[in-house]
Structure 1
Amino acid sequence: MAGAAASLRRHGAAVFGVALLVGAVYVVQKEFRHLSVADIRAAMAALPVSALWIAAGLTVVAYLVLTIYDKLGAIYAGRRVSWPRTMVASFCGYALAHNLGFAAVSGAAVRYRLYSAWGLTPLEIAKVVGFTSLTFGLGGLALGGLVLLVEPEVVPWFGEHLPHWALRLLVVPFWGAVLGYVVLSLFVRRVRVFKYDIDLPGPRMALAQTALATVDVAVTAAIFYALLPAAEGLTFLRFVGIYLAAYAAGILAHVPGGLGVFDGAIMLGLQPYMPAAEVVGALLVFRLYYYIVPLFIAGGLFAGFEVGQRRGVLARVTALGRGTEALEVPAIASLVALAGALLLFMGALPVRGTDAEAWLGRAAALASHFAASVVGSLLLVMAYGLLRRLSIAWWGSLLLLLNAAVVVWARGESWWLWGAVLLTAALLAALRGAFYRDARLTREPLSDQALVPLAAVAVCGISLALVAYSGGPFSDESWWEVVLSREAPWSLRFTVGLTGVLLLVGVVRLLRPARLGVVGWDDGARRRLRALGALAPVQADGAVFGQEQRAGFAFLKRDRIWLALGDPAGDRQDAISAIWRFRDACERAGVDPAFWRVGPDLLRVYEDIGLTAVPLAAPGEEAKHFLACRAERDLQALRQLLPPALQRELPPGRKAAVEAT
């Protein structure tokens, strides 16, 4: 029973996210079945200029509201930060986090980089990050409760399949959490929620948080609502309910920007009110305004900040600092996932004749439609491997992107579509050095565990290619449309479905990193670490060694944190594999990794696994050692490892002033 609970805790979120993504793909292909690119272009062209300007203005207002999040967070932490600096930190943090995903690179890492340069201590920055994260949740709960109370039927899928009284009952925990937070702020200064300690602000600050977050969610939903055509029965409050449900689904799926999941939920919720083409047109413009344009602006601002922190002309031209390096891989992985989503959506559009049909023949033109769905599915899997810095994922993504460009061209789509795919391939090719991990397929001997999925991938790929190029009546459909088609024979539906699933599962198995190197603590492990020159204390909970067994370190197990004792000692390349093995072991155990007293040489790798380097030096002193941890979550628990100058609480006078705000 305990093992089942541990397995659920470890894999439950991932399984739920995959289920949401599969459901979103089903909704999208169903809605796209009768669409064409021309329909979407026409819907976008029909958007009034006034609606575009209103949406652009609301986008500016939305990010200004987010700036107030950070401003109140700084006051709560007891520090005064100027408005210009607050705006830069807030905008960069939220714009990057919205697009790259909270799991891949959170806005917390960006804030730590900026606020630490402006003199805030790690604990003060942790308070700002915690405050901003909690504030958004309060707004979602407050507005979500209102929607469930007044318009419960608008919640996608649940509104049709669950009784309204059951949905209205959810108002109690939603509003109860908000009210409880405000009431607790009157009497309590610190609470423990899910093993995390939260310092509560004063009641005025708690009320300000709730009001601000409610305004933020309402303004963001208004951006999308302004782009939609007038529809009978679709009030703003109803749309807020649809938007909140879609946004929550995107977050729960752990997909960067909620890609696919948010879109599918929005299309499902708006299905009774307007045609799919109008929804997709508004959706694309919304993503352009709220996600893509801010991403490029924030990336430029953050890169400019890093350049400004450097000394010397050469460094200003050739280096952008540790902060931007940590964003490279999540950014390119998001672009690869976006290309995969483009191919998936394209595979759901019917073929209505292409220019390439006259050159390549009808069979090849129809096959490009089927191939789009296969290549798109594989690119989504490859993005997962890229986030883990696997070299095999780099090669696979590069080949699939080139294949995708050919597929898009063969379908006769606009030049900028296949040009964007080629540009993504060029950017990925330029980042070869960022993918340094070996998968089991390339590192370990070819065993049955690797041979079986390798053979399955080869057979499934050939099988799907035969279906695509057969020229039959189903060659112009995506592979999952064949599975769902009632006109296709059961034998074909079963074969294509099983083949597609086996292909994706096989690729995932091939992308698994090399085996974990965690061993128990005994005299043998202690002797091996001493031979490498690593710290080998009398008491420890385990040791981790690299894939070549030429680097390693000891670690301690603490409540929800495993703490490594220093950098891995030994061969540098093997030290990198040891760090990643420790990260994978912590993920499997459902805990956070942390490294104590590490040097500056491997900070890039610690940032790659999602950790923030906190200097173990008083303000103004040069840091020679760092504490690498998930600072936004674990710094409070690890504060005793910081120098006394960084452990301080707020001075009594300042604390009273903050609570009175």
Structure 2
Amino acid sequence: MQPKTRQMVSYAIMTIVLILAGIFIHKFLHKYSLHEIIEDLDNIPLKNKILALVFMAANYLFMTTYDFLGLRYLGKKLAAKKVVLASFLSYAFSNSVGLSILASGSLRYRYYASWGLSFSEITKMVIFTSATLWLGVLAAAGGALVLAPMIDMPDQLHMYFSLHALGVLLLMIAAAYYFMLVFVQKPFNLLGQTITLPSPMLGLTQIAAGAIEWVLAAAVLYVLIPAQVQIGFVQFVGIFMLAQTIGLVSNLPGGVVVFETVLLAFFPPAAIPAMIGSILVYRVTYYVLPLLVAACILGISEGYRQRQKFVSYLSYLNRIYIAVIPNLLSVIVFIIGAYMLLGGATPINPARFGFVENVLPLAVVETSHFFGSLTGVGLLIISRGLKLRIDLAYQLTLALLAAGTVFGLLKGAEVETALFAIAIAIAMIPAKGLFDRRSPFFDEVLTKEWLAAVFAIIAIFVWLGFFSYKHVEYRNDLWWTFTVNDEAPRFLRTMVGIFTFSLALLLYKFMLPSKRVQDDTNLSQDEILGIVKKSRDASSYLALLPDKKFLTGNKSSAFIMYGVEGRNFISMGDPVSATEDDDEIEELILNFRKLSRHHGCGAVFYEVGTENIPHYIDAGFRIYKIGEEARVLLDTFSVEGKHWATTRNNINKLEKDGCVMEIVPAERVEEILPRLKEISDDWLENKNTREKRFSLGCFDENYIKLMPVAVVRRGEEILAFANLWLSSGKNEISIDLMRYAEAAPKGVMEFLFVRLMLYAKETGYEYFNLGMAPLSGMDTHSFSPFWNRIAGALFNHGERFYNFKGLRSYKDKFNPQWKPKYIAVESFFALPSALRGVAALISGGTGGIFGK
């Protein structure tokens, strides 16, 4: 299934879930009015709201025990304040966007990696905490359903077994997990991998911690439910857990709509309006407030973490201001846009009806109502442009806020809307300098995801309008009724206008012509070579091959080298930078994803290291390990000792035969090119293969002449050669092409290899890079991701496809330091397509993957 097809199927399933849940909600609410709900919302006692805040705080504080237990499982210790910070931020964000591993994992990695934990350890912690959460669901739901009085299943939800039986089943699953830990205390092998489970005591603590946390979450809503609803706490926990579980399975953010649908089904009709008010307060208390607090803490802590980069305290505050303000304004403008739009679906405030009827002309009221709602839609769309710091979005936002202020006052004396809009406009004026990006506005703003969010608000607008005016008898002439008192016709006309406007946007979006992929760089070959020579990564020399396209940063001191294969834009390695400017690298990664999306393709970063993983995660990528790179620490490298006896004998034998290693500088390589070409052609013919590309060098004369070449001579005859990659600051040295003549003596490549390492050691290089061993070093324990298990099995049993173990074993004899390498893709489902694209680029086309 293609990525676009999978995406469409995912959207379709989510849409169906939302529609079905919406039908349930509408069925529950058709007997009630909006005024009843608002009145019951105001009737919640202040002390109950304060108590809900206390339980919410206790819940989030107790949730940090998940991370403490995870660290205990890993055998690690960190300061309590660090654990609490990382845990709270992870759960505040993941609760609001859905309990996704991506949301919590990216934040955990950003913090725990800086505190010394490896990527593998953080992955284990994320899996451990997710398991703790679900064990808590099993224990809390099971215990409540068993202990509570019999809960009657509503007619809207049909099950073929009792909830008591379901509770027993859930407790049995939790117990089975505990007894597994009791009877399987020692590590065991599974598919050749060692699996270590938590201790029984730690497992029991997991279950208890998860259950207590969920009970505290239920208490937040329980103290808000109206007094007329007679229900015991244990019985309520059972209903709450059932609704939360179904909400979690739906994978919607916070289980929104689905949670409400299931929960309301268990309460009598008379209590529904009051329960809706309670749920609204619960949503704000448990989801919105922690999210806002977490956003503020994240902004401050990130600025504090980066404080060493700022010259002064003033510049530190300015950095926080620049990072936070565009995102904050984007959220606020989206909210006021939704407020203006939804205001067109509700009746005029009765207290201001006299002013509208006696002072304002009917034509003004009608026009203002219509364009006020359209202004709201415009603000919803443009708010994304503020997030992207686009100058046109800033100007349009100010214009629409001014228009919304006027329309709000004229359609119903909405002073609150006017004051809100004016306050936002005033706040935006000092921030004008932040919105300085000139870009194709509609290409970047009208993304499928953003349009989906806008249309979701529009759907709520339609439902709210029909709900507000459900007492009105609909007829054909209603569309042409124009009086101050008849507000339902006004809503209908506004709805048609919004649909027309939205349809026009969709047509514009889908009729945009696709753009050809072009080399987006203003750097010459000499400038690229200059950046490469200043890079500390030797593999950046791959940028000099003719098969690369480039994306450059604003400062022209860094670039991404990439190729296009099928529906994938594939970057070869991390961004290459002459200055290692972290901000420029982060911007390049984001721009590369935007470039690929602009052409309707996916973005892939192949063979990247650990340094920029936080940037990839922040840009929405998933990270998967693809192997390990071997780097020999030259300071300790030696061929002395019993281990190297065979190698020393081989070197001595070749030296007695007259073989010597010589470094030919780049300016003299042209003199020996004909002989090198002859050796390369013979080597390819004897190996029955063809040139590889992209992640490996090929014999291109213009490419070979740009770097030194190591040769093995016997007299005047060149027997073998390897071109050299030399990184900046003598950080590392590596070789690309390694080829030898048919007449070369046995062991000539090992001779060249060892002599090069000793030469690099003598000349002051820190590392000798032996390149990557694909699929090696993959953890395949019980908590490992699915990809790790596949890759590990292929490494252990895939000799017929590639000599994975042999390559790892050969490089291991040099006692290297192994450095993990990863591939960054937009989703797990994009991984197969990305790997096929990489293979095709390396092999010179899909046909080259399977043949010469």
TM-score, with normalisation over the residues of structure 1? 0.65
CA distance in 1, matches of 2:417, 2:293: 22
Summarize deviations over 1:611-648 as a string: whole Å, max 9, x none.
Answer: 7999x99xxxx9x99xxxxxx998995999xx95877x
**Which residue of the partner structure matches residue 62 of structure 1?**
59
Q: What residue in structure 1 maps to residue 476 of structure 2? A: 489
CA distance in 2, matches of 1:325, 1:530: 35
Structure 2 counterparts to residues 208-607 of structure 1, below 5 A: 208-232=205-229, 234-237=231-234, 239-240=236-237, 243-244=240-241, 247=244, 272-276=269-273, 278-309=274-305, 310-311=307-308, 314-319=311-316, 332-343=329-340, 346-353=343-350, 354=352, 357=356, 358-362=358-362, 364-365=364-365, 403-406=403-406, 408-410=408-410, 418-423=418-423, 430=431, 433=434, 438=439, 441=442, 478=465, 487-489=474-476, 500-501=498-499, 503-507=501-505, 510=508, 553-554=561-562, 564-567=572-575, 577-582=591-596, 596-597=608-609, 607=618
Q: Match of 1:566, SS?
A: coil
Greater per-residue strand proportion: 2
2:135 touches 2:210 (CA, 8 Å); kept in 1? yes
Aligned position for 2:87: 90
Q: CA deviation at 1:66?
A: 0.8
The one-letter code sitting in structure 1 at the alignment partner of 2:316 is A
Equivalent-residue separation in structure 1 for 2:496 and 2:188 (angstroms): 52
Once the two structures are overlaid, the 10-residue window that deviates more, 87-96 or 358-367, is: 358-367
Contact 1:233 1:273 in 2 (8 A): no
500-509 or 567-576, which deviates more = 567-576
The offset of 1:62, in angstroms, is 0.4
The residue type paired with residue 160 of structure 1 is Q
Do 1:100 and 1:334's aligned partners in 2 also have CA atoms closer than 8 Å? no
> Contact 1:566/1:597 (CA < 8 Å) preserved in 2?
yes
Q: Name the CA shift for 1:516/1:389 in 2 (closer, same or farther; >3 Å).
A: farther
Matches of 1:595 and 1:431, distance apart in 2: 40
Deviation at 1:304, TM superposition (A): 3.9
Letter of the 2:502 counterpart:
L
The letter of the residue matching 1:285 is: V
Q: 1:113 to 1:218 in 2, by over 3 A?
A: same
Q: How big is each residue's C-alpha offset from its partner over 1:263-312, in whole Å with a ceiling of 9 and x where there is no partner?
A: 67666665725152x33443343344333443444344434433443138
- Any gaps of 5 or more consecutive residues in structure 1? 455-459, 469-473, 626-631, 648-661
Q: CA deviation at 1:346?
A: 3.9
When residues 505 and 34 of structure 1 are mapped into structure 2, their CA distance, relative to the original with a 3 A threshold, is: same
Provide the C-alpha distance between the structure 1 equivalents of 2:372 and 2:81, rounded to a whole number of angstroms.
45
Measured in 1, the distance between the counterparts of 2:176 and 2:601 equals 34
Q: Which amino acid aligns with 1:55?
A: A
Distance 2:436 2:138 in 1: 40
Structure 1 residues 102 and 165: alpha-carbon distance in aligned structure 2, compared to 1, 3 A threshold: closer
Alpha carbons 2:334, 2:383 under 8 Å: kept:
yes
Distance 1:173 1:23, change over 3 A: same
How much does 1:202 deviate? Answer: 3.4
Q: How much does 1:122 deviate?
A: 3.3
Alpha carbons 1:145, 1:171 under 8 Å: kept = yes
Distance 2:202 2:569 in 1: 31
| Post-superposition offset of 1:226 | 0.2
For 1:326 and 1:297, the matched residues in 2 are separated by: 16
The counterpart of 1:106, out of the listed 99, 103, 107, is: 103
* SS, match of residue 350 in structure 1: coil
**Pair 1:165-2:165 in alignment:** no
Do 1:439 and 1:510's aligned partners in 2 also have CA atoms closer than 8 Å?
Answer: no
Are 2:394 and 2:432, in contact at CA under 8 Å, matched by a contact in 1? Answer: no
Q: Does 1:137 align with 2:134?
A: yes
Q: Distance in 2 between matches of 1:54 and 1:341?
A: 30
Counterpart CA distance in 2 for 1:530 and 1:166 is: 73
Check 1:390–1:313 CA distance in 2 against 1; reply closer, same or farther (3 A cut): closer
Structure 1 position 72, deviation (Å): 1.0
Q: Alignment partner of 2:271: what SS? A: coil
Distance 1:575 1:132, change over 3 A: closer
**Correspondence list, 1:172-187, <5 A:** 178=174, 181-182=177-178, 185=181, 187=184
The answer to whether the Cα contact below 8 Å between 2:135 and 2:206 also exists between their aligned partners in 1 is yes
Distance 1:23 1:504, change over 3 A: farther
Q: Choose from 176, 198, 201 the match for 2:198.
A: 201
| Cα distance change of structure 1 residues 190 and 126 upon mapping to structure 2, 3 Å threshold | farther
Relative contact order higher in (CA < 8 Å, ≥ 6 apart): 1
For 1:258 and 1:613, locate their aligned partners in 2 and report how far apart those are by CA, in whole Å: 28
3-state SS of paired residue (2:161)? helix
Distance 1:285 1:218 in 2: 18
Distance 2:258 2:395 in 1: 27
Contact 2:590 2:619 in 1 (8 A): no
For the Cα contact (< 8 Å) 1:566–1:598, is it kept in 2?
Answer: no
AA aligned opposite 2:281:
V
User: Is the contact between residue 344 and residue 494 of structure 2 (CA under 8 Å) also seen in structure 1?
Assistant: no
Mark the CA change 1:510 to 1:393 in structure 2 (over 3 Å): closer, same or farther.
Answer: farther
The residue number in structure 1 matching 2:712 is none
Q: 1:315 to 1:173 in 2, by over 3 A?
A: farther
Secondary structure at the aligned position of 1:214 is classed as: helix
Structure 1 counterpart SS, 2:217: helix
Confirm or deny: 8 A CA contact 1:256 1:334 kept in the other structure.
no
Distance between the aligned counterparts of 1:72 and 1:107, measured in 2?
16
Higher-Rg member (1/2): 2
In 2, Cα distance between equivalents of 1:375 and 1:89: 39
Kept in 2: contact 1:144–1:241 (CA 8 A)? yes
Which region of structure 1 is more displaced relative to structure 2, 387-396 or 357-366? 387-396
In structure 2, what residue type is equivalent to 1:82? A
2:40: which partner in 1?
A: 43
Distance across 2 between alignment mates of 1:389 and 1:174:
49
Provide structure 2 residue ranges, at least 5 long, that are not aligned to the other structure. Answer: 480-488, 533-539, 579-583, 632-728, 733-782, 793-807, 809-815, 821-852
- d(CA) in 1 for partners of 2:282 and 2:466? 29
Query: How far does the alpha carbon of each residue in 1:30-70 deviate from its partner, in whole angstroms, 9 at most, with x for none?
Result: 84996456x66653443334423422221221012111112
Which residue is 1:629 aligned to? none
Q: Which amino acid aligns with 1:12?
A: V
Letter in 2 for 1:581: L
Amino acid in the other structure paired with 2:279: L
3-state SS, counterpart of residue 279 of structure 1: helix
Which letter maps to 2:68? K
Question: What's the Cα RMSD here?
Answer: 6.2
Quote the offset at 1:98 in angstroms: 3.6
One-letter amino acid matched to 1:13:
S
